[in-house]
Structure 1
Amino acid sequence: MEEPPAPKRRRVQRSPTPELKLDDVGDDYQPYIPVSQRRQAKLAKYTSWGTSTEKTAAQRAQQEQEQKDAGEEAASIAEQKRRERTLLMEAQEVHLKKEAEDAQKTAEEKEHDADEVIFNAIKSHKALASGKELAQGIQYTDSFKTSWRAPKFVRDRTPEENERIREKHHILVEGENIPPPIEHFVDMKIPQPIIDFLKSNRIVSPTPIQLQGVPAAFSGRDLIGIAFTGSGKTLAFCLPLIMLALEEEMKLPFVRGEGPVGVILCPSRELANQTYENVVAWTGALERSGKYPQLNTLLCIGGISMNEQSHVLSKGLHIVVATPGRLIDMLERKRFTFNNCKYLCMDEADRMIDLGFEDDVRNIMSFFSRQRQTLLFSATMPRKIQDFAQASLVKPVLVNVGRAGAANLDVLQVVEYTKPEAKMVFLLECLQKTPPPVIVFSDIKNEVDDIQEYLLLKGVEAVAIHGSKSQEERQYAIKSFKSGAKDVMVASGVASKGLDFNEIQHVIIFSMPKEIEDYVHQIGRTGRSGKTGIATTFVNTNTPEQTLLDLKYLLIEAKQKVPPFLQSLEDPRAAQGRGTTGCSVCGGLGHSISNCPKLEESQRRQMASHKIDDGGGGGY
């Protein structure tokens, strides 16, 4: 079968492209004439006929139109340039302008500006408030109300008389409507059993911090108390809580599940235990008198079994003394609540609000459901903490006895230049200066153990305490040292803040701490309650120059002898003609905030915690 023939292709004829000829254009066609030519032709037409007035009007109209066109063209060019301008160009201009301004500033002004930037960044925290208060925007404007009133003769004093009393005791105050100072415990309306108990312990009259702080706390005011070590701060914040709990108990006795009335937060177990013992002693004096009811106090710290205090939890609870970690655990397990808690005190508040505790403190605040009276106490409270605290409290009263971070003037400070290999031998010589008990401080845990072992080999009765030891070992060390069974206690920073040891005449700082705050707390273990003491500090080439500068200025401020090797140490800020205002983060006088060792350590810890949270460390 033959295949069919292929179809033939046909050429498609396209229609020719039409051509437009001028002859074909209609009579109404007009070629395009630019606007400017038309305007000129129009003007020529107007000028060729008409009166002079008409010509002038036409010229004026022409000029106005040209000005309008020129303005539109300029606006169009400006808009085009603005669109072409980039953010990078703007940033460069701002940077160049800032450089020009900085070039006119002095070195001191530049450092001050840099410090202010850092300071504003680290103090921009949320205020201490519960989650409910922050979520609902609840803010308290009035101070906590109490039933206490100062005696009439105290209320009748003039402001000038009150100020003379404060000047007499070197008390600085800030705030609104500051309660008057009271110079005698009896006039504070304290129960007689407590006054008798204080007298039996040779506490006859209030110290400066108590003289102003206790009336302010009795009045229900939020309080920031700053005073040197050994000045009686514990009594100043425990006594108001005891009185508040006593009043509540006498109104209507507490039953199981009720309370507490107030809580005292401490940064270390040892300090919490010491505060607890003081509270129990003072409330016990009330109960033994037979005139006042029993007040129940709970010690809430890690390392001890809470079952041992089940007899306290089975009754109404008045006072809780705690460290943050264990307190959060008890609140989350609902062993007790803060529904009726009216009083919160933080001892060593600069540590409590600092990195490592701030999140815990905020967590604790979330358990409060009502307004409470808040008190913050410390020997070293830099401006950073003061500003943060004042923003968090309600109409606070700031009571300051001496500069925040200054050393106790009752302590004779001796600084010795000692080579590292000779420190152990020189330690034995220093122990011969005064009779026991003596405390030896070192920030290195391994070094603490080495010093104790060396002293034991030399026949010295010594105990050691640091954060890696168990709670039983730490309690044994403190108990045996306080009782006099041991002559020397070798300790890390865990024993440097707040702990009160009787009759300590000598403190030896084996390794100078980097932060001058820690040094102030360590030497403050002696020279307490008006007594004098000696603090011997070992330094050498391993001690950072910045730390030595802080030490130098602290010695000068306290009118102590400055050894020649410290005297010859030059401050680079002074050499450049800059001031020596000191650091607002740690209170050190030998450096500025931009090179603060405390800030550097805080940032290091924060970075380490972020790495652990991201899975970069902290394995099982």
Structure 2
Amino acid sequence: MASTSKRPRETSNSTSGSDSEDNYVPYIPVKERKKQQLLKLGRITQVRSEETKAAVSSSETDGPISEDDAQALARKTNVSLLDQHTELKKIAQAKKESAYEKQLKEEEKILESVTAKKALMSVVELAKGVQYSEPIKTSWKPPRAVLKLGLEKWDKFRKKMSVLVEGEDPPPPLATFDQMKFPKAVIKALEKKNIVKPSPIQAQGIPAVLSGRDIIGIAFTGSGKTLVFVLPLIMFCLEQEKMMSFIYGEGPYGLIICPSRELAKQTHEIIEYFLSQLKGHHFPVIRCCLAIGGTSMSETAESIRRGVHILVATPGRLMDMLDKKIVKLDICRYLCMDEADRMIDMGFEEDIRTIFSYFKGQRQTLLFSATMPKKIQNFARSALVKPITINVGRAGAASMNVVQHVEYVKSEAKIIHLLDVLQKTAPPVLIFAEKKADVDTIHEYLLLKGIEAVAIHGGKDQDERSRAIELFRKKSKDVLVATDVASKGLDFPDIQHVINYDMPDDIENYVHRIGRTGRSTKTGLATTFVNKSTEQSVLLDLKHLLIESKQEIPPFLATLQAETEAYVLAEGERGCSYCGGLGHRITDCPKLENVTTKQAAAVGRRDFISDVGADY
């Protein structure tokens, strides 16, 4: 047999040899040891210079070094600590910017996902693919003297008034009502209300509306937005009536939709005031009708049957009358939605979309509000033709005429502390509360303390609400206690003090509430109670709103810090593009989270109801 060689068994000597291999320290050249020693001593410059020399010498053997490589090598040599710090700072800033860009991209995706997929157009227009490319033509033209001034002068005037205009070929701003070509009767009516010259939103907005343009008007509360759509509409109706009188059952030509009964009633009263001033000046008779819940529908129907030029309505009552064919929008060519974002937030989006379906032709569409986040603006533009966006200040900014005080008050001490706060100013005073029960409690407490007060909320009938507001306007009562039904658009010119008994869940509602004082050129005071029950996200929004308005920041607010604080105060667009709050971004928006949760719950509920229906 052939012998086979076997591997010898390891001996004890080989085992000891393996231990010695584990403890073996490799040889390090002298040059490398010097380099490590220099690194320990912090002499990085000398090491880099030696590396550069080595790189240059190697390049000499391999070929000529490029100019870019030479500059890169030169930057590595003889770099001071200060220069190194500056370079590191630049790298960190670049990383920060890239993170901010990443944040913006994420926010754009979220905004696209929450923006309504369906355009704000009528069903017929969507089905037939009807698209209007040009705005409605009107007979009004700006004065020749103003047109000759040119774009540079117009922009200078806009800058002086702090007016930002976006859109194609906007008309020039006008400094006087005479330049707007209003009749003397209208100008005298304005003077009786102490309105001598246009406010910034009026100077740019009224010429745009008179030109037939669709507009989105954004201006702080008390800036005179109502006149921007009321006065042009009266002029259009006068022109229509002169050309051909409205007959029995015809109209309306103009439709104004308001989110609350009180705001609709106030708008109707303003229109009636100007119409009354036109009487006796050889102008045609213009008829205006009010359609709101809580009033007699038969009386409203009778007014409409006589022929009406202007209809002011709330969405619910208008929908009811359209369904019953009491109102027809066949010849309606003018649509204004006051506090448009509030209507969409209150759940009237589908109603508004349905109302659009009753129009039989192109209309001039106007949207106005003090708070209109980017989400609402993007959604609204789908219904507009070559729209002009007129912005006076930031959308959602508080009026600079209001001094804002924020006080930390425990829940059980609020109603007692209320009496002390009422002493800050003379009446009239407006008190806001979130819940109807709180409104009734505060009202009863004030009456017990001998304070002349009235109260309104959604649970009271319309006659009682109207009577309360009328008594408060006439100063027969010193205090009005209300929920947010009184916060949207209502004009109480002499209110000196607004008290927020509790902080609203939405910063937009806070802006609308405090906007009831400090209207026009007057100043006012707003006091807000907060405590541990107030959401931190709302407090952060409030903090940044106070910073923006240059108000005093209480210590308990100053210590609050957002997780995304760097993004909140970063350059570019600030705050949340969904709700307009400054203390967070759309990625952390509590309002969006609530809406998403409600939608998910509604879907689940519908599925459950359909399943139950199927079983039975």
Q: How does the TM-score come out when normalised to structure 1? A: 0.80
Q: Quickly say closer, same or farther: Cα 1:199–1:355, change in 2 above 3 A.
A: closer
Q: Quickly say closer, same or farther: Cα 1:167–1:577, change in 2 above 3 A.
A: closer
Give the Å deviation of 1:606.
3.5
The CA distance in 2 between the partners of 1:457 and 1:433, in whole Å, is 20
Q: Quickly say closer, same or farther: Cα 1:577–1:345, change in 2 above 3 A.
A: closer
Asked if the contact 2:341/2:376 (under 8 Å) is kept, the reply is: yes
Give the Å deviation of 1:531.
0.4
The CA distance in 2 between the partners of 1:537 and 1:578, in whole Å, is 24
Q: Paired residue for 2:579?
A: 586
Q: Deviations over 1:120-153 (max 9, x none)?
A: 0111432221111110000000011111111111
The CA distance in 2 between the partners of 1:449 and 1:426, in whole Å, is 17
Q: Quickly say closer, same or farther: Cα 1:449–1:577, change in 2 above 3 A.
A: closer
The CA distance in 2 between the partners of 1:525 and 1:577, in whole Å, is 28
Q: Paired residue for 2:550?
A: 559
Q: Deviations over 1:35-54 (max 9, x none)?
A: xxxxxxxxxxxxxxxxxxxx
Asked if the contact 1:515/1:597 (under 8 Å) is kept, the reply is: no
Q: Paired residue for 2:475?
A: 484
Asked if the contact 2:167/2:388 (under 8 Å) is kept, the reply is: yes
Q: Paired residue for 2:253?
A: 261
The CA distance in 1 between the partners of 2:125 and 2:567, in whole Å, is 49
Q: Quickly say closer, same or farther: Cα 1:462–1:614, change in 2 above 3 A.
A: farther
Q: Paired residue for 1:209?
A: 201
Asked if the contact 1:254/1:315 (under 8 Å) is kept, the reply is: no
| Aligned-pair Cα RMSD in Å | 2.1
Asked if the contact 1:514/1:597 (under 8 Å) is kept, the reply is: no
Give matches, 1:153-164, under 5 Å: 153-164=145-156
Q: Quickly say closer, same or farther: Cα 1:576–1:188, change in 2 above 3 A.
A: closer
The CA distance in 2 between the partners of 1:335 and 1:345, in whole Å, is 20
Asked if the contact 1:108/1:577 (under 8 Å) is kept, the reply is: no
Q: Quickly say closer, same or farther: Cα 1:472–1:578, change in 2 above 3 A.
A: closer
Q: Paired residue for 1:277?
A: 269
Give matches, 1:75-86, under 5 Å: none
- Structure 2 residue identity aligned to 1:574: E
The CA distance in 2 between the partners of 1:104 and 1:270, in whole Å, is 49
Q: Quickly say closer, same or farther: Cα 1:311–1:168, change in 2 above 3 A.
A: same
Pair 1:237-2:229 in alignment: yes
Asked if the contact 2:564/2:585 (under 8 Å) is kept, the reply is: no
Q: Paired residue for 1:375?
A: 366
How many residue pairs get matched?
515
The CA distance in 1 between the partners of 2:133 and 2:188, in whole Å, is 38
- Structure 2 residue identity aligned to 1:521: H
Q: Paired residue for 2:378?
A: 387
Q: Quickly say closer, same or farther: Cα 1:606–1:356, change in 2 above 3 A.
A: farther
Give the Å deviation of 1:204.
0.6
The CA distance in 1 between the partners of 2:537 and 2:300, in whole Å, is 47
- Considering only CA atoms, is the larger Rg found in Structure 1 or Structure 2? 1
Q: Paired residue for 2:14?
A: none
Q: Deviations over 1:178-234 (max 9, x none)?
A: 100001001101111111011011011110000000000000000000000000000
Q: Paired residue for 1:193?
A: 185
The CA distance in 1 between the partners of 2:515 and 2:503, in whole Å, is 14
Pair 1:250-2:242 in alignment: yes
The CA distance in 2 between the partners of 1:542 and 1:530, in whole Å, is 35
Q: Quickly say closer, same or farther: Cα 1:105–1:187, change in 2 above 3 A.
A: closer
Q: Quickly say closer, same or farther: Cα 1:104–1:436, change in 2 above 3 A.
A: closer
Pair 1:523-2:514 in alignment: yes
Pick the aligned partner of 1:600 from 578, 590, 593. 593
Give the Å deviation of 1:239.
1.0
Q: Deviations over 1:469-528 (max 9, x none)?
A: 211221122111111121111111111110111200000011001211000000000000
- Structure 2 residue identity aligned to 1:246: L
Pick the aligned partner of 1:501 from 483, 486, 492. 492
Give the Å deviation of 1:603.
3.1
Q: Paired residue for 1:425?
A: 416
Give the Å deviation of 1:154.
1.3
Asked if the contact 1:573/1:579 (under 8 Å) is kept, the reply is: no
Q: Paired residue for 1:396?
A: 387
Give the Å deviation of 1:109.
4.7
Q: Quickly say closer, same or farther: Cα 1:483–1:174, change in 2 above 3 A.
A: same
Q: Paired residue for 2:344?
A: 353
Asked if the contact 1:225/1:376 (under 8 Å) is kept, the reply is: yes
The CA distance in 2 between the partners of 1:273 and 1:612, in whole Å, is 37
Aligned-pair identity (%): 55
Pair 1:223-2:215 in alignment: yes
Asked if the contact 1:384/1:584 (under 8 Å) is kept, the reply is: yes
Q: Paired residue for 2:457?
A: 466
Give matches, 1:324-335, under 5 Å: 324-335=315-326
Q: Paired residue for 1:365?
A: 356
Give the Å deviation of 1:616.
5.2
Asked if the contact 2:250/2:305 (under 8 Å) is kept, the reply is: no
Asked if the contact 1:257/1:336 (under 8 Å) is kept, the reply is: no
Pick the aligned partner of 1:148 from 126, 140, 150. 140
Q: Quickly say closer, same or farther: Cα 1:231–1:430, change in 2 above 3 A.
A: same
Give the Å deviation of 1:586.
1.1
Give matches, 1:398-413, under 5 Å: 398-413=389-404
Gaps of 5+ in 1: 1-102
Q: Quickly say closer, same or farther: Cα 1:465–1:612, change in 2 above 3 A.
A: farther
- Structure 2 residue identity aligned to 1:166: R
The CA distance in 1 between the partners of 2:135 and 2:156, in whole Å, is 26
Asked if the contact 1:271/1:499 (under 8 Å) is kept, the reply is: yes
Q: Per the alignment, in what secondary structure is the counterpart of residue 498 of structure 1?
A: coil
- Structure 2 residue identity aligned to 1:400: N
Q: Paired residue for 1:129?
A: 121
Give the Å deviation of 1:237.
0.9
Q: Per the alignment, in what secondary structure is the counterpart of residue 377 of structure 1?
A: strand
Asked if the contact 2:301/2:326 (under 8 Å) is kept, the reply is: no
Q: Quickly say closer, same or farther: Cα 1:615–1:337, change in 2 above 3 A.
A: farther
The CA distance in 1 between the partners of 2:253 and 2:410, in whole Å, is 53
